[in-house]
Amino acid sequence: MDINTVMDNLKDEIVEHIKSSRSPYKSDIAEVMRGIHGHTDVVNRPFIGLAIENAEPKQRMMGDNAWEVRVLLYCYMDPSTLGNYDDMYQLVEDLRYFLVNDFSHKSRTDVVGFRPIEGGTTVNINYFELVFTIFYQEDIVQ
């Protein structure tokens, strides 16, 4: 397995799992994409972006070809009403639940941080970042 496969799995599984019609999730996501996208470039919200922040080899801990990848998951969403952040925090909980319980790489995933930015009158958009690490081992092709 390579990091591209892991990231594709992450994207596809978020789309598959996080929908209000699927218990225990209460949120819906309009779009999920890899890479960094500005909030003015995103039309469909809530929008989830996925980007690799860092990748480090971890041979001593896990053996040859082992990696620790730090992933930035970020979200742009429109508040239901100005000053209401309930939907944002619910989506964070749904994503955290997914990473811990439903993600195919959950046993090798650790959530390490969360940073919310609550929108206001100037920029009426809610934004958050969820940072987590995924440990994986690359297949060796000979």
By CB neighbour count within 10 A (0-12 exposed, 13-18 middle, 19+ buried), where does 26 fall? middle
Q: How confident is the model at residue 141 (pLDDT cuts 50, 70, 90)?
A: very low
Q: Which domains does the chain have, with CATH numbers?
A: 3-137 (3.30.2000.40)
Residue with tokens 């500005």: 38
pTM of the predicted model as reported, rounded to 2 decimal places: 0.88
Phi first, then psi: what are they for 106, rounded to 5°?
Answer: -60, -35
Least confident of 28-42, 75-89, 122-136: 75-89
